[in-house]
Structure 1
């Protein structure tokens, strides 16, 4: 941990003699819980916010500030206590504290009485850049920067803060689609640089002991997030930047997607192929051919290409009756050759140049302008097209190229009547696009949860329902190998639904069944299951050989069987900010840099196969007792083990003390219900008590959490000697909730024939339960209304 503040003052005074960046504290005040520091260099405002966080705004006379994109507004400052001492001022609340050095104005942040991070040079301003400098400890490790392939510990790297496409990437990348101007340290703090402008993040690269954020322009503001663990800091980031609203349940299902379906006939035939092959399907995604006959020249039409899609309303209705949702791609570029160009110009919907004319430029798809999503009038023009498509039955949106892929620095955006250069808001473009679309859908379709898939955003984009993916990854083993790192780096900062194009998107000379199926295995334990690729090789399993179809079917049906568990993760994320995918550091902070394994919720440790020819997989177990999900072998933690890894069975461990609820898979999630629920409990004497909560609601209403229209099925276990007690309690309700459930129990870790099984005080006959010696498990069935008590005498 950081050394105590007073021990470091003398050292800092020496360092600062060559800088004028810190300033003497002249006075301080507090009004409406906002602490204002008056220094010889200007004013600093400090506001405590949700998630054990502090927002620090450096204000300078004459320096315009853009609005915050990172923070979940509106937020009032929360109460703090301010105390003055001889050489410093403290701002405190519970375990959180800031010490302000009177001589230098330097801020140091404390948690539970220990310093965790401090400014080094504080606000750094030059004629070209503005940003902040912080002190790094010698052995400190940090996540940060968002989508990059640099290793989990980003210490020692300098990276651009400028969202930019990286087509066909494999195992290395320093600049990608969705960067984050933030770090999360193993010292249990995070710093968020609340500036959307083009910039740079230097994590101990130029100077080993310095973390520095800088930008060409924009806000002089940062947020420090604290907590009692790495996991808590991660959840607190989601609280201060905004938790993800609930997704429709169908978003956890299987998607048919490619670049792209060219006709209405092909689209319907693809959905039917899933039904014919008994593979569940919940959505089909239409790429750019829905609005044009070929790739170039049509972007911005924003309407169906009727020669190939003659009756899209009928197509959508047919898909809907099959339980399949329709998702359409849109882009923010309006080509000068598109049907909407004249309309867009007339309605002033596009970003302009310094002369007030539309800023036009050439890129891969043609000559174009860019929708000014920051301008409310332009946004309204754009959103009218979404309304028309939604009225036809479209239920999901795919926003592509939203970095934006091309964004001339000479383009100007209108924010509340103020013209702002493209570089100042570049990293917030996709964020703002998601915001206007999210708010529009809630207004026009208040009964539906928005589905908004986009590949670029900013800190806090998740609060607008954004579902990002990792871009145009190479269809290769190298492409697969970087996906855990990308997923974990984003998830830890609140971006919970990050996922990849399963199977890989770009290139590939021939179909590699092993690579494809290994990627699907991995995808079954990621937030979104969406195979997608260039269509020279079919990304859908239904267009491959029978043996590939059979294995893919099993993988996808496992995904659907786990819907109660997965959907509970989804609801819990919206309630607490805890991500679905979690680094192992959440349970063992000594493994901060682990990118070979990850956690899927609390129960699963996942170790995907990422190289060809593997039949066994080494797994480094965290502390605890773990079960092989497939073989049911039990292992003691903190050792390296080897498990069988046949294709179709991802190496997967379950932590002792876990409850895993499942259902029988259905063709789509509209047919999902939990009237018949399977619950597996993994017992071990080392885990005396455990609790798990399964959440259920109608799967569609945006108001579930606000109105309390959901059920919590609380599962507890207590093991004392040879007695194992299981208790299920149902709390809450929602429309059409089951009045009764039939629960099919399997309890693993039962090494000997039980003496008896008792349900709600009644002894079961021996014929009513079964013990399996091969899997050391006991099975039985119980009925559940509001509560069920099970006792197993071992």
Structure 2
């Protein structure tokens, strides 16, 4: 047996010391918190950001170190490091991650928790560019720079931005070139939002910190090799580790920036289509929502707000008075109905638009090779593109957003920001199109974020964008999955895309609910998509207008079922708002893959059919037509309550469950507290002083605690400004008593008001003998059919409250 294990260890060692045979170690030194290793063809520079984040840069002999990162915002901490040089091995590390350098033959590897997690194979090399047909003419170069790594045989790989490939992306070579895929369904190898990041089932992240376009090869040749390829730029990467997936998410989003709190209305229902042609149509649509009593919080105006036609008018960027005669009054009237106005914008200024002459005169456009405004044709007409890297272009664009914000517009939609058409010969102020293509949407989001805050310094921005880069979440970006086909195939890819992007820091990735592309009138598909939307980050039905996206214009049955879903979305508001807080504070995704719950279960590594919405809600969207029975995996970490029937299902099994036309299979973790709001027509109607609180009692859960975050839903930096309250609910079983305690942490600038709570405790098998709140006896309502106990409680949150229930065995 010892010989068998020795053989495995030997084979693994052989696999990780495959190397670039021409790289020869010369020397090493440490200075000012940076560790350098010099080789014959360049030098490695290692720097810790934290104990769990180590950055490595390779600087070739003919290059100067470039410290310009578009992704990283974290300042390196002063880390206590260890150093050992024994034989031919140098080890430099923290109490978390370490780098091991073998000097002969030269080899670099990374160690965490006593295990090698990844190692360089040949490291940095150059080679001829292997062109891929899907990006022919987009990635233009003769040679490519690579960084090559070893993979273990069985690890599963995630990341590389938004794709529809299945959760496991190993086996693909994927372009890093943001590009729209119109009408995709179950497979898309290239989409709007690519990122140079790979996550492993072995619980590490490697992020390639370089903006120019290229590829990520996730072992496409089957030889256990990961390769980052780029046309130019930095050879810098960070390795990020953590004890749990949530630690890794926290560490990565600390490195690249946390998502700011969105306005609370962003969690409501949006009215959106391509598009509303007039002020009259906008107002009529919102009136339909009000008449049908379907909640709505925002309306999105597509490109008809600045032109009557799809083509020829892009770049006008001001209301067309013929169609929108009084936009300021329209926005004011919508606001009086608790509806926000969001406008589409694009970075393209057509030569036929009203602003072309101004754009040329103000010198705000990207250039061609001889310094003239770069002009080219695409679907919408002959165009130039705003050079947001030119200070003049950046300020010009900013001023437009600020003027619209001052008019009352509270959200902006940045469309076509890949950019959709961006010839390689176009020159921006800081570099070529190939160098800035993948960061254009990222830096555009930053511009809009800054403009929004400059116009309204104490109001949270809302920025809807189709493309970006690593770290775009820090600019409040809300991405969506592009022009998905309005088919069941289109729906089937959406959970995977959203889960993957949440793992990469972009927690608000969502889809056009109902599907976008094609005139497919399918009420079942529409309803199932909206039911899935209840448990995805942003609830925004949107589509081409030949088939209505808004529930108010669908059949009576579809409208009724859609309304039920929307009302459920609003009922979930206090729970969902806490997810926003968790994401802001710790980088936790709102949608979470089950591999986070069972990280050592390989059966879940490529699984997205069921997922967690926050910590406590298990969701299994219906993704096929006519589906009557659905297989759902219930994680072994808990027992699970059917949210509609209270049936308790034991965790650790896959179970066939019946579907229902009014909702998708949804379950709650045993021991969870779930706060629910009362019915409302807008998040502006939300009153957090009165809510329902569901506690899912189970004898296997002896102790349980949950926190829920509250603030005013609109002002910036509530945590820093102490303008918040966190309610803490604890449950404990002590013999025959169930004790539930209420506590509150209240910021000094937040009112500590009284809460009226309707507490419902599930799974109480017999009517309790006694219920006490503090020293007083309380009369509750026991439902013998559903086995629930309901108590109406008043709680002064400045003091703790204790409820004791004597269970009747």
Alignment TM-score, normalising by the size of structure 2: 0.94
The within-5 A match list for 1:460-609 is: 460-509=471-520, 511-589=521-599, 590=601, 591-609=604-622
2:357 counterpart (336, 339, 342):
342
Residue equivalent to 2:152: 137
Residue equivalent to 2:131: none
Residue equivalent to 2:723: 709
Residue equivalent to 1:63: 63
Closer, same or farther in 2 for the Cα pair 1:508/1:50, shift >3 Å?
A: farther
CA contact (8 A) 1:680 1:747 kept: yes
Shift of 1:781: 1.3
CA distance in 2, matches of 1:715, 1:492: 28
Shift of 1:131: 2.6
Residue equivalent to 1:657: 671
Residue equivalent to 2:762: 748
Say whether residues 1:413 and 2:428 are aligned partners.
Answer: yes
> 3-state DSSP class of the match of 1:729?
strand
> 3-state DSSP class of the match of 1:705?
coil
Closer, same or farther in 2 for the Cα pair 1:363/1:338, shift >3 Å?
A: same
CA distance in 2, matches of 1:55, 1:379: 31
CA distance in 2, matches of 1:101, 1:592: 32
CA distance in 2, matches of 1:351, 1:257: 32
Shift of 1:51: 7.7
Gaps of 5+ in 2: 129-142
Shift of 1:219: 1.6
Say whether residues 1:674 and 2:688 are aligned partners.
Answer: yes
- 1:168-209, CA deviations, whole angstroms, 9 ceiling, x for partnerless residues? 000011001111211111111011111222211111112431
CA contact (8 A) 1:145 1:182 kept: yes
Residue equivalent to 1:15: 18
CA contact (8 A) 1:37 1:44 kept: yes
- 1:431-467, CA deviations, whole angstroms, 9 ceiling, x for partnerless residues? 0101122122223321111101001011111011110
Closer, same or farther in 2 for the Cα pair 1:68/1:779, shift >3 Å?
A: same
CA distance in 2, matches of 1:742, 1:14: 64
The within-5 A match list for 1:105-116 is: 105-116=106-117
733-742 or 656-665: bigger deviation: 733-742
Residue equivalent to 1:634: 648
1:614 counterpart (627, 636, 647):
627
1:684 counterpart (692, 698, 721):
698
CA contact (8 A) 1:66 1:218 kept: no
CA distance in 1, matches of 2:330, 2:241: 51
Closer, same or farther in 2 for the Cα pair 1:186/1:684, shift >3 Å?
A: same
Say whether residues 1:457 and 2:468 are aligned partners.
Answer: yes
Closer, same or farther in 2 for the Cα pair 1:10/1:534, shift >3 Å?
A: closer
CA distance in 2, matches of 1:472, 1:3: 53
CA contact (8 A) 2:740 2:803 kept: yes
> 3-state DSSP class of the match of 2:196?
strand
> 3-state DSSP class of the match of 1:558?
helix
Residue equivalent to 2:788: 777
Residue equivalent to 2:203: 188
CA contact (8 A) 1:25 1:105 kept: no
CA contact (8 A) 1:25 1:104 kept: no
Shift of 1:79: 4.6
Closer, same or farther in 2 for the Cα pair 1:51/1:760, shift >3 Å?
A: farther
CA distance in 2, matches of 1:371, 1:258: 26
241-250 or 57-66: bigger deviation: 57-66
The within-5 A match list for 1:235-384 is: 235-384=250-399
CA contact (8 A) 1:24 1:40 kept: yes
CA distance in 1, matches of 2:388, 2:410: 21
Closer, same or farther in 2 for the Cα pair 1:586/1:15, shift >3 Å?
A: closer
Alignment TM-score, normalising by the size of structure 1: 0.96
Shift of 1:74: 5.0
Equivalent residues, number: 782
Say whether residues 1:122 and 2:123 are aligned partners.
Answer: yes
84-93 or 594-603: bigger deviation: 84-93
CA distance in 1, matches of 2:681, 2:721: 30
CA contact (8 A) 1:3 1:114 kept: no
Shift of 1:676: 0.9
CA contact (8 A) 1:13 1:104 kept: no
751-760 or 57-66: bigger deviation: 57-66
CA contact (8 A) 2:419 2:440 kept: yes
Gaps of 5+ in 1: none
Residue equivalent to 1:390: 405
Closer, same or farther in 2 for the Cα pair 1:355/1:318, shift >3 Å?
A: same
CA distance in 2, matches of 1:379, 1:445: 18
Residue equivalent to 2:36: 36
CA distance in 2, matches of 1:480, 1:177: 17
Closer, same or farther in 2 for the Cα pair 1:78/1:396, shift >3 Å?
A: farther
CA distance in 1, matches of 2:8, 2:441: 40
CA contact (8 A) 1:710 1:732 kept: yes
CA contact (8 A) 1:133 1:211 kept: yes
CA distance in 2, matches of 1:292, 1:432: 26
> 3-state DSSP class of the match of 2:18?
helix
Say whether residues 1:646 and 2:681 are aligned partners.
Answer: no
755-764 or 451-460: bigger deviation: 755-764
CA contact (8 A) 2:279 2:330 kept: yes
Shift of 1:556: 0.6
Shift of 1:501: 0.1
> 3-state DSSP class of the match of 2:527?
helix
Closer, same or farther in 2 for the Cα pair 1:469/1:58, shift >3 Å?
A: same
Closer, same or farther in 2 for the Cα pair 1:5/1:120, shift >3 Å?
A: farther
CA distance in 2, matches of 1:39, 1:571: 46
CA distance in 1, matches of 2:392, 2:90: 47
CA distance in 2, matches of 1:238, 1:13: 29
Shift of 1:643: 2.6
